[in-house]
Amino acid sequence: MKQLRLYAGEQEAEDALSVAVTGIGMVSSIGKNREEMWRSLQRGEQGCKLYHDIAGVPGLHLPAAHCDWIDPQAPCSERAIEMATSAAGEALSDSHIDLDAIDRSRFALAVSAHFGDTQFLTDQVNHRSEPSHAWWNSWLPNTGCSRIAQKFNLTGAKLCHSTACASSLISVVMAVRQLLDQQCDYIIAGGMDAVQPLLCAAFHRMGVLAPAGVAPGEACKPFDRGRNGFVLGEGAAMLVLERTSEAKRRGARIYGEIVATQLLAEAAHVTSLDESGLPLSRLLNGLLRRARWQPRMVDYINAHGTGTEQNDRNELSAVTNVFGEHPDHLALSSVKGMIGHTINAAGSLELATTLMAMRDGYRPGTRNLIDREPIGNIDCLGNEGSKSSVDHAIKMSVAFGGHLAAVAIQKSSFENQRAAEPLDPAARIRPSSSQVRAA
């Protein structure tokens, strides 16, 4: 689609319909902050390790991607909240918004739910007079959202969605709607999660987790025919969003502009997916229409990419349906082979990664992808990333319960776009002539 030259007034009207990302904070198993994690992704570092009695479940030995520097004895909810407040603080600092100079009742939050913990129950069964941790941290899934508001004295609306592993991407969608509806002027959107004992046991019983008998660093293999299932991870990502018109007016530096969002559902089963990819195809087609993009405009798709058979087939089928068999300009990848599946945090962590790819012109590789699933011929960046301008990108999430979400982002105008940072000297960069495609 040819981009139109707009008069000043028309440009302002366009800006009023988009939302700018002006701050990012990230925490994961491979980085304590945004830039550390991003450099680790460039190097293809692994956060996955083998844990015995994972999350305190006796006899359950599994690979996982933990944030090992956070107190391992703390309940997972406490760990998740610590990651969330850290990421939120980094995002706020990165946005350069002077909180003392704004109306904080116009600063909102859309932060996903997090899983609770059983520690409070254990305390009660053991007849402790004082629980070791506040019960609301374990049993109110909106506590992380509330704690961020308290820490930074933000008194705008607070939204908290629990929609499985689409939760934090749906939080971003809801944040965009709050801004465009003039409900707020600024908003923090994102999610957090830590490895939780009941979830570990349930997913293990379902048979969707990679087993202990493989090398931890090779356990999660998105889009590879030798996949073993996914690896649980933990982390958090928070994004500061504001209307693009306001961000430009205050001279903010912009990672990218959210120009469209789309939500749909699969309605067949709680955990199974339509392997034809048709519901996800409808999601992507709807997103393109809302963004007013042609498929050929999209440079990069950050996939959900769990490394399970149904998810891999679903996503590859849908992307092939919408974008064709082998568009040379398009690449798709999943970072879960490095950071694991962070459940409620996954959508925002991976959207933040996509925005970093846009800033620096580097599309991260799909770690452990050697023998690609033979559906379509889209380049899945097997094991190495690629240097390429990312002007238009999509992040999508596919969650248990049938929740489908997608976000379209594009570069801002030259004077507002964040300047690219040099890539890590050890970044895994594939030769431009090489591609790993289906056999």
Where exactly are the structural domains of the chain?
19-243, 258-410
Q: What's the pLDDT at 208? A: 87
Report the C-alpha gap between 232 and 421 in whole angstroms. 30
Residue 356: per-residue pLDDT: 98
Q: Is CATH 3.40.47.10 the classification given to domain 258-410?
A: yes
172, 407 contact by CB (below 8 A): yes
Enclosing H/E stretch for 197: helix 197-206
pLDDT at 119: 65
- Per-residue model confidence (pLDDT) at position 118: 67
Q: Give the pLDDT of residue 5.
A: 45
Q: pLDDT tens for residues 127-186?
A: 555 666 676 666 677 888 999 999 999 999 999 998 889 999 999 999 999 999 999 999
The catalytic residues are: 165, 304, 341
Q: What is the pLDDT of residue 121?
A: 65
| CA dist., res. 230 & res. 237, Å (int) | 20
Supply the DSSP string of 329-393, one letter for each residue. T-EEE--HHHH-B-GGGHHHHHHHHHHHHHHHTEE--BTT--SB-SSS--B--BSSBEE---SEE
Which pLDDT belongs to residue 269?
A: 63
Torsion angle of the four alpha carbons 132, 205, 366, 294, in this order, in degrees rounded to the nearest 10 = -100
C-beta separation of 63 from 49 below 8 A: yes
User: What was the pLDDT predicted at 1?
Assistant: 37
19-243: in CATH 3.40.47.10: yes
Sequence-ordered alpha helix ranges (H) in 32-181:
34-43, 76-95, 119-125, 135-139, 143-152, 167-180
pLDDT reported for residue 125: 60
Separation between Cα atoms, residue 166 and residue 164, nearest integer Å: 6
Helices 278-291, 309-323: inter-axial angle, 10-degree rounding: 40
Kindly give the parts of the chain with pLDDT less than 50. 1-8, 436-439
CA-closest candidate to residue 403, choices 171, 146, 238, 69: 171
Domains 19-243 and 258-410 share a fold: yes
